[in-house]
Chain A
Amino acid sequence: MRFFLMTLFAAVTVALIVILNSTMVLPAPLGKLMSPQHGVWQNAEPYDLDYNATLSFPQLKEKAIVYLDDRLVPHIFAQNDEDALFIQGYLHARFRLWQMEFQARAAGGRLSEIVGPDLINFDRNQRRLGMVFAAENSVKEVEKDPELLAAYNAYTAGVNSYIETLTDRTLPLEYKLMGYQPEKWSNLKSALFLKFMALDLAGFEEDFEMTNARSVFSKEVFQKLYPIASDSLDPIVPKGTQFAPEPEPLVIPESAEETYYDNRTTNNITGIKPDKSNGSNNWAVGGSKTQSGYPILCNDPHLGLNMPSLWYEIQISTPDYNSYGVSFPGAPCVIIGFNDSIAFGFTNAMRDVRDYYEVKFKDESRQEYWFDSAWHKTEFRIEKIVVKGQPDFLDTVAYTNIGPVMYDKSYTGNRNTGNKDYAVRWKAHDPSNEGKTFYLLNRAKNYDDYLKAIKNLQVPGQNCIFSSKTGDIAIWDQGNFPAKWYRQGDFIMEGDNSDYFWQYNIPQEQNPHQVNPDRGFVSSANQLPTDTTYPYYLGGNYPPYRGFEINRRLYTMDNITPEDMMKLQTDNYNLFGEIAAPEIISRIPEDQLNDTDRKYFEALKNWDYVNAPDAIAPTIFKLVWDELYKIIFDDEFKATGLTLAKPHNSTLVDIIKRNDTTFTFYDNINTPEVETLEDNVAAAFKKCIPTFIQLEKEGRLEWTKYKDTRVQHLARIDALSSLHLYNGGGEFSINATKEQHGPSWRMVVQLTPETDAYGVYPGGQSGNPGSRYYDTFIDHWTKGEYYKLWVMNKADAGNDKVKHTMQFNPSTN
């Protein structure tokens, strides 16, 4: 009996341990997780944790020192570049390892390995797009460049030297929660991360949706719905600028008119898409417009708002250079920032550098494809996707002379018709060395150095803004862009001949740019870089409003101070509202409104077009506009049974303002009556009233509550995110803060002899949710406040701001 009881209770104990040590029964291994000596409690850093350390590494050449200030920003002082970047790698890993690895995994399509079969399609999409192929090509370029290779090697060694110190207990929290271990870092992972940014910034395309649209609308209607430029365009390079002609004329295929423009083949693809409004603002004002007489450079890249943040603030100081700004955990150098001579920043150039071609294979085996009147051998790349809890998934991807066949029978990406094969031509596949841009910018001293640095930037194309202490301001719409003929690449193209191929790249010196213009400022906010006299086709995905508003303000501003620039960056004025709201208000039949309706109508009528956090008018405007848009387009669009590209909001408001009587979409095709714009506006407003009432009851009619900005943890864990932030702005405001997207780093740099810089990002320097530094900056960022950026001199070691000191010594073994 006793033996039986002993065995029974021993069995119960073992069973409990097994249950609490695994995820077989419980969603989390609670025993392992909650043990104070092993689990998540180990990640609860003491509030006053001492980061002081003396560390030795055989890879270091000389002694170096890192001062951590009161915001946990590291100030690295190293004797040479490799040591500095080794330390940067070490610090990135020390404070952001999980995020670095997670992002590299996401980039390379390796999430199923840690999450499970739900993400197989995500992984396949990344692999088929050739993300790893692209990163490998990039590494090859780095390896040809000894200087940069040394930099990458040092960075990677720094990351790995931290990973080597980790034990099960000291693993970052997310590894424990998700139950996996970090891998060694590599130069390929850094390259993958940069390709991830390329995908985020230069991965937007609507080729299938546009092809569908072109197949159902007449040429005239199509042109009306999908124009190139908005009426509100104020391009990056002002209208009227003279451009040199193309070096050789672009040959438009003869068949374009009938087969390309009038392609009746339809496809329905809804792939994974970057946020359409991955945009940004940047501008630089020259000394003639500032109070100090020195230039001021400003930048706020709009990206997904995540925790841990995409950005990590850092100062890197060596005898050669002294740079300060934000870096990408996962890559060496400062990415947006300044040094003792210049400042630099970026906005997205929005060019379409990703096009699809239909491939003709000889047979099912796909061993050969037809191209320029001959069969050619296909190459295959077998992608092995490791899946948690399941056997590996093997995906065979065919490669033709165009690139990877992204969509085929085995992977349709939600396409509903056809057994066709589509290869993707993506500029990011080409060998390039983007890392060199930042490497050189960190040590650039003047305009020439800047120009030399940015010439390495091929994909993603960026509007590179520049300013120097010697008074220069400049902007280059830089990238390696294919020279396209009108509408080339907007639709799926023929892949069996070279007629539709990109013919050559736009010569770099023809990229739109401006240097020290008379108007005293340069700026960009993702608008079309030029007017339509530019000799090449630029595509049609450019938001016009932020750029217009920034320029309108900068034209009139004088005696500018950094504070003025901070105010401008956080400005909530909604230019789209200014243009569109009066069109709505004037068409709402006031005499037919009851008291409830009237309350909301009055709010809209009295709106000052500011997306203030506590205002209700922005919510009312957005809801009515979106409803109006649906009423106008949904009937015709749904009747096609296809996924069509959506016309831009700016396109619709331009049509309304032009009083275009030939525009037929106002009529609802499902009713016998012929509706007018007035009918649509009245219907939209009426339809929104119950929503207004409901939102008001729930206390969510105020713009900030309706918008409900959050900074979300990368693994989408709410408990590790910052939710319900109180702020204004929105898509059409300079302060482009949306639900989970917005200014990811606000920076204002005045290039006085002693640099006067300010910045803030929504996050914190530590990626550990158990650290007080995890979300330190969120509050400041939400309120639109900035930190003064402290460019430290080594002599400042005794300053009160220095809270911790890390000594890095070379070890001899």
Chain B
Amino acid sequence: MKFISSLLLIAILSYVLGLFLPWWTIAIAAFVVCWLIPQKGFASFLSGFLAVFLLWGIMSYMISAANHDILAHRISELLLKKDNPTMLILVTGLIGGVVAGFAALSGSFAHKKLRRR
């Protein structure tokens, strides 16, 4: 339950912050949520990772679908040297996921430290 709610909160907060602030605020979202909601280290990493992996993955998938993958074909060719829109969407999710995952992990340790005081 904690896991699901953390995941949802991170995703929602990341989305909202992203509307106004730079992309790396996904790290702040993940850190804050995992700080407030205690979870084991790995679980917090996973909640952060999955939250933004899914958020970015789904958003880019939707954008690309509406675009008939026109840009994804070109950008995957440019960045991945391979014409593969799906892979570009996965890479997008992965990049966001890893950043949020580590931020979440760091947040979970912050939480435990505070509780022990």
Using a CB–CB cutoff of 8 Å, the interface residues on chain A facing chain B are 2-3, 5-10, 12-13, 16-17, 20-21, 28, 30-47, 173, 177, 717-720, 769-772, 774
Query: Known contacts A10-B106, A37-B23, A40-B75; is A16 also within 8 Å of B92 by CB?
Result: no
Smallest CB separation, B33 vs chain A (Å): 14
Smallest CB separation, B91 vs chain A (Å): 7
Can you name the residue of chain A whose Cβ is closest to the Cβ of B101?
A13
* Residues of the B chain whose Cβ atoms lie less than 8 Å from the Cβ of A771: 70
| Neighbour of A41 across the interface among B59, B68, B77, B103, CB < 8 A | B59
Q: Is the CB of A34 within 8 A of B95?
A: yes
Using a CB–CB cutoff of 8 Å, the interface residues on chain B facing chain A are 15, 18-19, 22-24, 27, 31, 41, 56, 59-60, 63-64, 66-68, 70-72, 74-75, 77-79, 91-92, 95-96, 98-99, 102-103, 105-106, 109-110, 112-113, 116
Smallest CB separation, B92 vs chain A (Å): 4
Binding site secondary structure of chain B: helix
6 A-B pairs with least C-beta separation: A770-B71, A9-B106, A35-B23, A6-B109, A719-B78, A36-B59
Q: Is the CB of A3 within 8 A of B98?
A: no
In Å, the complex CA distance between A311 and B72 comes to 26
* Residues of the B chain whose Cβ atoms lie less than 8 Å from the Cβ of A720: 74, 78
Name 7 A/B residue pairs within 8 A (Cβ), A-sorted. A17-B27, A21-B24, A34-B96, A37-B18, A38-B23, A44-B72, A771-B70
Can you name the residue of chain A whose Cβ is closest to the Cβ of B67?
A44
* Residues of the A chain whose Cβ atoms lie less than 8 Å from the Cβ of B91: 34
| Neighbour of B102 across the interface among A2, A12, A34, A40, CB < 8 A | A12
Q: Is the CB of A717 within 8 A of B23?
A: no
Q: Is the CB of A35 within 8 A of B103?
A: no
* Residues of the B chain whose Cβ atoms lie less than 8 Å from the Cβ of A3: 109, 113
Q: Is the CB of A45 within 8 A of B56?
A: no
* Residues of the A chain whose Cβ atoms lie less than 8 Å from the Cβ of B41: 5
Give me 17 other A-B pairs in contact (C-beta within 8 A), A45-B67, A772-B70 excluded: A2-B109, A6-B106, A9-B103, A10-B31, A13-B102, A13-B106, A16-B99, A17-B99, A28-B79, A30-B95, A41-B64, A44-B72, A47-B67, A719-B78, A769-B74, A770-B67, A770-B71
* Residues of the B chain whose Cβ atoms lie less than 8 Å from the Cβ of A41: 59-60, 63-64, 71, 92
Q: Is the CB of B72 within 8 A of A35?
A: no
* Residues of the A chain whose Cβ atoms lie less than 8 Å from the Cβ of B112: 2
Q: Is the CB of B113 within 8 A of A6?
A: yes
* Residues of the A chain whose Cβ atoms lie less than 8 Å from the Cβ of B68: 47, 772
* Residues of the A chain whose Cβ atoms lie less than 8 Å from the Cβ of B70: 44, 47, 769-772, 774
Can you name the residue of chain A whose Cβ is closest to the Cβ of B30?
A13
In Å, the complex CA distance between A458 and B23 comes to 51
Smallest CB separation, A176 vs chain B (Å): 10
Q: Is the CB of B71 within 8 A of A31?
A: no
Can you name the residue of chain B whose Cβ is closest to the Cβ of A18?
B24
* Residues of the B chain whose Cβ atoms lie less than 8 Å from the Cβ of A12: 102, 106
Query: Known contacts A5-B109, A719-B78, A720-B78; is A37 also within 8 Å of B19 by CB?
Result: yes
Q: Is the CB of B23 within 8 A of A31?
A: yes
Smallest CB separation, B34 vs chain A (Å): 10
In Å, the complex CA distance between A766 and B99 comes to 34
* Residues of the B chain whose Cβ atoms lie less than 8 Å from the Cβ of A39: 23
Q: Is the CB of A13 within 8 A of B95?
A: no
In Å, the complex CA distance between A7 and B103 comes to 10
| Neighbour of A38 across the interface among B18, B66, B103, B106, CB < 8 A | B18
Smallest CB separation, A657 vs chain B (Å): 48
Can you name the residue of chain B whose Cβ is closest to the Cβ of A775?
B70
* Residues of the A chain whose Cβ atoms lie less than 8 Å from the Cβ of B96: 31, 34-35
Q: Is the CB of B99 within 8 A of A13?
A: yes
Smallest CB separation, A10 vs chain B (Å): 4
* Residues of the B chain whose Cβ atoms lie less than 8 Å from the Cβ of A173: 71
In Å, the complex CA distance between A44 and B61 comes to 11
Q: Is the CB of A44 within 8 A of B106?
A: no
Q: Is the CB of B92 within 8 A of A38?
A: no
Query: Known contacts A3-B113, A9-B109, A34-B91; is A717 also within 8 Å of B27 by CB?
Result: no
Can you name the residue of chain B whose Cβ is closest to the Cβ of A29?
B23
Q: Is the CB of B27 within 8 A of A13?
A: yes
Query: Known contacts A16-B98, A16-B99, A39-B23; is A46 also within 8 Å of B79 by CB?
Result: no
Q: Is the CB of B95 within 8 A of A20?
A: yes
In Å, the complex CA distance between A16 and B30 comes to 14
Q: Is the CB of B105 within 8 A of A35?
A: no
Can you name the residue of chain A whose Cβ is closest to the Cβ of B77?
A719
* Residues of the B chain whose Cβ atoms lie less than 8 Å from the Cβ of A20: 24, 95, 99
In Å, the complex CA distance between A210 and B79 comes to 45
In Å, the complex CA distance between A163 and B24 comes to 26
Query: Known contacts A13-B27, A37-B23; is A769 also within 8 Å of B56 by CB?
Result: no
* Residues of the A chain whose Cβ atoms lie less than 8 Å from the Cβ of B99: 13, 16-17, 20, 31
Q: Is the CB of A36 within 8 A of B27?
A: no
In Å, the complex CA distance between A46 and B75 comes to 16
Q: Is the CB of B56 within 8 A of A35?
A: yes
* Residues of the A chain whose Cβ atoms lie less than 8 Å from the Cβ of B15: 37
Q: Is the CB of B92 within 8 A of A36?
A: yes
In Å, the complex CA distance between A33 and B75 comes to 10
Smallest CB separation, B98 vs chain A (Å): 6
In Å, the complex CA distance between A17 and B98 comes to 10
Can you name the residue of chain A whose Cβ is closest to the Cβ of B115?
A2
- Residue among B98, B103, B106, B116 with the highest chain A CB neighbour number at 10 A: B106
| Neighbour of B71 across the interface among A9, A38, A44, A717, CB < 8 A | A44
Smallest CB separation, A773 vs chain B (Å): 10
* Residues of the B chain whose Cβ atoms lie less than 8 Å from the Cβ of A717: 78
* Residues of the A chain whose Cβ atoms lie less than 8 Å from the Cβ of B95: 20, 30-31, 34
In Å, the complex CA distance between A6 and B45 comes to 12
In Å, the complex CA distance between A328 and B11 comes to 45
Smallest CB separation, B76 vs chain A (Å): 8
* Residues of the B chain whose Cβ atoms lie less than 8 Å from the Cβ of A177: 78
* Residues of the B chain whose Cβ atoms lie less than 8 Å from the Cβ of A36: 56, 59-60, 63, 92
Query: Known contacts A39-B23, A719-B77; is A44 also within 8 Å of B63 by CB?
Result: yes
Q: Is the CB of A16 within 8 A of B67?
A: no
Q: Is the CB of A6 within 8 A of B63?
A: no
In Å, the complex CA distance between A6 and B111 comes to 9
| Neighbour of B67 across the interface among A6, A8, A38, A46, CB < 8 A | A46
* Residues of the B chain whose Cβ atoms lie less than 8 Å from the Cβ of A42: 63
In Å, the complex CA distance between A43 and B70 comes to 10
In Å, the complex CA distance between A803 and B92 comes to 33
In Å, the complex CA distance between A404 and B39 comes to 71
* Residues of the B chain whose Cβ atoms lie less than 8 Å from the Cβ of A2: 109, 112-113, 116
- Residue among B31, B60, B71, B110 with the highest chain A CB neighbour number at 10 A: B71
Smallest CB separation, A299 vs chain B (Å): 31
Q: Is the CB of A40 within 8 A of B71?
A: yes
* Residues of the B chain whose Cβ atoms lie less than 8 Å from the Cβ of A718: 77
In Å, the complex CA distance between A772 and B68 comes to 9
Q: Is the CB of A46 within 8 A of B74?
A: no
Smallest CB separation, A238 vs chain B (Å): 50
In Å, the complex CA distance between A347 and B16 comes to 55
